[in-house]
């Protein structure tokens, strides 16, 4: 009887090795794939590559960034949502995860239940830009003019379901004004038509806004945030301008598939804090206009719930439906 004990012990050990908790103890022991649901060269791609470098430095394991753009970031996000819950396929998600499901009924997964929030890594506030032909130098003057001229002003966006689209809709609802939405395919054509005067208003991400303001035909009226930016120190916040409900930021965060073991989530969060607390990384992202909240998993989950509720409310009030671009 005693001679059988080592065999039983070996069998138990073999079973334990196959359990999620046991695999989490050795994680990562192979390459990690970071899905970025946008094209190369943007902020999401930059953050993903910083994280990949951080994982390599910390563990010696390679993390590969894979750009899978399309569907308002839903194509790449869906890949991770339907991946194994082992931490080897992770998502560098964006604010689209809380916006797109509110307007697009064809999204093939539920960000609230099919993904596990790890950390909200970075965010960039939007800047309200206007063409010089608009007779307003403050946000209140813009609102007053729009009320006196309902439907006369148009606002550009980077596409249906983008931050710029929903920012414009939020602005309309909060201020009680009538604006015409003109969607484009991306930031560049929207900005070009603003500069040319074909549209009047654009909510643009901070670094892009700074670049567009180099053109004399564009001016900034407000930053949709609670604090001013060092990049545009003379531009007041929407709070200072009397519209504190207009808070819009493009955020970027890390996600894993549902049912990923908590030890792996904790390890991924550790990669985030080590990578983005490094002074050189923080400085480089700050120069791009990004703040780095590095929220813990529980706080990020709570944020996701509130952000989803907010954009769903905006979509319902504005009767916004459509397929995200």
CA dist 278 and 292 (Å) reads 11
Residue 53: alpha-carbon gap to chain centroid:
20
Q: What is the pLDDT of residues 244-269, one digit of tens each?
A: 999 999 999 999 999 999 999 999 99
* pLDDT band of 325, cuts 50, 70, 90: low
- Which CATH number applies to 30-124+250-318: 2.130.10.10, 3.90.550.10, 3.40.190.150, 3.40.50.10490? 3.40.190.150
The reply to whether 125-223 shares the fold of 30-124+250-318 is yes
pLDDT of residue 23: 66
Contact 196, 184 (CB under 8 A): no
Q: What is the pLDDT of residues 180-236, one digit of tens each?
A: 999 999 999 999 999 999 999 999 999 999 999 999 999 999 999 999 998 999 999
pLDDT of residue 322: 76
pTM, whole model, 2 decimals? 0.89
Residue 12, pLDDT above cutoff 80: no
Sequence spans of domains, the chain = 30-124+250-318, 125-223
What is the secondary structure of 264-316 as a DSSP string?
A: HHHHHHHHHHHHHTSHHHHHHHHHTT-B-----HHHHHHHHHHHHHHHHHHHH
Q: Poorest-confidence range of 13-22, 249-258, 295-304?
A: 13-22
CA dist 102 and 110 (Å) reads 11
User: Which CATH fold would you assign to the domain 125-223?
Assistant: D-Maltodextrin-Binding Protein; domain 2 (3.40.190)
């Amino acid at each position: 009887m005693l001679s059988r004990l080592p065999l039983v012990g070996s069998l138990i050990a073999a079973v334990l090795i196959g359990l999620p908790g046991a695999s989490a103890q050795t994680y990562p022991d192979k390459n990690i794939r970071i899905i970025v649901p946008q094209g190369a060269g943007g902020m999401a791609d930059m953050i993903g590559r910083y994280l990949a470098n951080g994982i390599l430095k910390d563990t010696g394991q390679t993390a590969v960034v894979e750009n899978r753009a399309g569907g308002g970031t839903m194509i790449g996000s869906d890949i991770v949502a339907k991946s194994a819950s082992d931490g080897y396929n992770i998502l560098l998600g964006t604010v689209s995860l809380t916006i797109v499901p509110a307007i697009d009924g064809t999204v093939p997964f539920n960000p609230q239940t099919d993904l596990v929030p790890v950390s909200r890594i970075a965010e960039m506030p939007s800047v309200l830009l206007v063409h010089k032909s608009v007779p307003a130098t403050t946000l209140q003057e813009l609102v007053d003019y729009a009320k006196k001229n309902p439907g006369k002003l148009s606002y550009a966006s980077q596409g249906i379901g983008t931050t710029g689209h929903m920012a414009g809709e939020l602005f309309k609802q909060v201020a009680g004004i009538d604006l015409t939405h003109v969607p484009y395919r991306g930031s560049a054509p929207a900005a070009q038509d603003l500069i040319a005067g074909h549209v009047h208003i654009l909510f643009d991400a901070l670094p892009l806004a700074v670049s567009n303001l180099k053109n004399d035909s564009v001016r900034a009226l407000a930053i949709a945030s609670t604090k001013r930016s060092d990049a545009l120190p003379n531009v007041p916040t929407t709070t200072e301008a009397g519209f504190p409900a207009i808070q819009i930021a493009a955020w970027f965060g890390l996600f894993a598939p549902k049912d990923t073991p908590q030890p792996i989530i904790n390890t991924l969060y550790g990669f985030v804090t080590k990578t983005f607390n490094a002074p050189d990384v923080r400085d480089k992202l700050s120069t791009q206009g990004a703040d780095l909240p590095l929220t813990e998993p529980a706080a990020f989950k709570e944020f996701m719930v509130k952000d989803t509720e907010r954009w769903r409310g905006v979509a319902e009030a504005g009767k916004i439906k459509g397929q995200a671009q």
